[in-house]
Structure 1
Amino acid sequence: MITQAIRRELVEFGSDQWPSYSTHRHPSLGEVLQLRRADLLVAGGSNMLKSRMEINRQWLVTPDLAWSMRRKIVLCGVGWWQYQDDPNGYSRALLKRILDPSALHSVRDSYTEEKVRRLGFEVVNTGCPTMWSLAGSSASSVTSRPDTVVTTVTDYNRDPARDVSMLRSLARLYERVLFVGMAEQDLVYYRSDLQVEGVTEVGWGLDTLNSCLTPGVDYFGTRLHAGVRALQRGCSAAVLAIDNRAREISRDTGLQVVMPDGITDRAIAQAVVAGTAVGLRIPLQQIAMWREAFWRRLNA
C-alpha cells in the first residue's frame, strides 16, 4: 500500500519509469550498480529509520551499500522504528553518509521529524503518503452502525489476550466479523491463538481486504494501513494502536485509535463511529513544500 501510494504521488516526476527494490533485503549486484549510477534515490514509507541501524531488518544497509548510496537519498513519508533513545554513533554516521544533505526530507509523523532534524537535516512532516489522498473527503451518508466489520491482527506484535479481547468485543458489536490476514503469518497466528466464536476467516492479502471493504462496512483492527485503506474506500475505520506508528499519526492527523489498555465495546464503537476521513488533518502545506523541493532537487 505504501509503495503504491508513493508511486501514485510521484508519477508526475516520472516514477512509473524508475527502478525499485525492497529495503528488506540486500540488493542484487545489478541493483547495486543501478544505485551507484543513480543521481538521486527516494526511500519511501515503512519504519526504515532506527537508532541502531546495524540491526535494522527494515532497511538492510551494509557499509558497502552505504557507499553506493552516499548522499543521494531523499526520504518520502518515512517513519522511525518504535520509540527509542538517540541514535548511536554508527547510526548517526550511516544516516549522514546516505541521506542527501541538500534535500528537504519527508517523514510521516512529528516524532520522526524531531529525530531527523536532530541529525542535522532539513525535514518536514507530511504524514504518511497513504493518507495524502484523503484530503477533502466528503461525509458518508451512513447514519447507523453496519452489521459487518473487517478486522486484522499483526503476527509480529503478538498479544493473544489483547487480540482475543478485541475480537470478542467486535463479535458482540457486529453480526458479522470478517478476519483478513495482511500477511500469511497473520493467519497462522489467528488459527493457533485467536479462535473466537462469531469471527469468520476470509483469507489474506490486499486483494482480499479490498474485496471485503465495501460501502457500509466498518474496519477495526491492529493493522494501521488496513485502516487507511478502509478510509480510502469510504468506510468508517479505527485502529487498535499497538505501536508508535498509529499513536503518532493519530496525534498529528486525528486518525481514530483505541489504546491496548482501553479495549471496551464502548471505546471501539465510539472510535469507529468517529472514524471517517472527514476532518482528518492532512498537512497539505507541508506536502506541497516537499513536492516543490523535490522537483527542484530532481532538476538540479
Structure 2
Amino acid sequence: MITVYDTACGSLNMGDEIIMDAVMLHLESIFTHEQFCRYPTHYALASKTLKKAWKNPLAFVGGTNLLRNYWRFRARKNQWAIGFFDGFQMQPAILMGAGWNSYAKSPEWKARVFYRNALSKEYIHSVRDNYSLEKLKACGVNNVINTGCPTLWQLTPEHLAQVPSVKAHQVVFTLTDYSRDIEKDSQLVECLKKNYQKLYFWAQGSEDNQYFDELIQLKPQIFENIERIPTNLKSYNQLLINNEIDFIGTRLHAGIRALQFRKRVIIIGIDNRALEMHKDFNLPVVERHDLNKLDHLINSQWQPVINLPVQAIKDWKAQFKL
C-alpha cells in the first residue's frame, strides 16, 4: 500500500486534476503491483485517518503549489493541510513535481523545521523548477532535483514534432479569476478575435466564469459571441481531441494539457509557475506585459521545443526500482 497526498481532491482548480492525472500515470508505471491510497491535501484529516496514511512504507505528494515560506501550527491553516507538529510523527513524504507557491523571501523557521522532518531523507525529491529547488535547499532539504512538473514528462521531442507549426482557425482561451487585469485580458481577447475565426472559453478555476461574465458586462463588444464550453475537464479534453484548435491563455495547466494533446500553445505568464517553467524548460510563454508580441507569434511558423530534464526524471524514477 502506498500513500498519495492528492492535490486534486477538493481543489477549486481543475489544473490540479491535470497534475494528478500525470502523477498517477507515472506512479502506476513504476509501482505496477502496489495499491494506492489517496488522501486530500486541501482538508485537515482526522488523527485516525492520518495514522492510516502514515503507516504505509511510501508516501508521495502530487505536485502543485504546495510549498511555501511559512508553516502554521494548525493543519487547516496550511496549503498542505498537515499541522506543524505532525511533521515529527508522519511517514516522511516524497515530493513529486511540487512547487513553491509564489516568489517570496527566505523561509521562516517553522517552514524549515517542518520540511526537514516531514520530507523523506532517504529518497530524492522531485520539484517543478529551480526556484522551488533553491527554496527547499534554503530549508536544509538538499536531496532534491529539478524534474519539472510530471505533466511535462510526456512532452518528448517525438511528441512535440506532431504539434502544428502554423496557427489553426479556432482557439480556446482561459482567464484567471485571482489575477484579474481587465485591460490586458481585453487586449488578449481582441488579439484572438483578430486572428481566429472561432473563439472558445474554458473556465479552469472556480470563479473564472464569474470573471468572464463581468467582462461581458464591462466590454460586451469584445467578450460577446464567444462560445463557452462546460466547466469540466472531460469537456475540455473532448474539445482538444475533436478539433484543430490552438490554446492561448493565462492558465498554465490548461496550456500544458493542450500540449499533451499535440495542440499549438501560447501560455500567458502571470505568476512564478509559468515564468519559472519557461526559464527552465522553454515552455512557450509570453509575459502579460508583453502582449504586443502575441500577434507576431500567432502568425509565425514555429515548433515548440521543451528542454526536458530527461536524466533527472530517469534518476528520480530509478530510485524506486532498486
TM-score by length of 2: 0.84
Measured against aligned partners, the alpha-carbon deviations of 1:199-256 in whole angstroms (never above 9, x if no partner) come to: 2222212112112214521000011011011011110001010100000101111111
Alpha-carbon distance in 2 for matches of 1:114, 1:189? 35
Q: Matched residue of 2:273: which SS?
A: helix
Q: Matched residue of 2:154: which SS?
A: helix
Note the 1:21-60 alignment, pairs <5 A. Answer: 21-54=39-72, 57-60=78-81
Change (3 A) 1:16 1:151: farther
- 8 Å contact kept, 2:166–2:299: no
Q: CA deviation at 1:155?
A: 1.6
* Alignment-mate amino acid for residue 10 of structure 1: L
- 8 Å contact kept, 1:218–1:272: no
Q: CA deviation at 1:198?
A: 4.3
- 8 Å contact kept, 2:160–2:305: no
Alpha-carbon distance in 2 for matches of 1:208, 1:287? 30
Note the 1:190-201 alignment, pairs <5 A. Answer: 190-194=212-216, 196-201=223-228
- 8 Å contact kept, 1:74–1:99: yes
Change (3 A) 1:176 1:279: same
Note the 1:1-300 alignment, pairs <5 A. Answer: 1-11=18-28, 12-14=30-32, 17-54=35-72, 57-69=78-90, 72-120=92-140, 121-135=142-156, 136-140=158-162, 142=164, 144-194=166-216, 196-214=223-241, 215-264=243-292, 266-270=293-297, 276=303, 278-296=304-322
TM-score by length of 1: 0.90
Q: Matched residue of 1:47: which SS?
A: coil
Q: Matched residue of 2:248: which SS?
A: strand
- 8 Å contact kept, 1:250–1:257: yes
Alpha-carbon distance in 2 for matches of 1:82, 1:137? 30
Identity %: 30
Provide the aligned length of Structure 1 versus Structure 2: 293
Q: Which runs of 5+ in 2 are unaligned?
A: 1-17
Q: Matched residue of 1:41: which SS?
A: strand
Q: Which runs of 5+ in 1 are unaligned?
A: none
Alpha-carbon distance in 1 for matches of 2:310, 2:165? 29
Q: Matched residue of 1:291: which SS?
A: helix
Q: Matched residue of 1:53: which SS?
A: coil
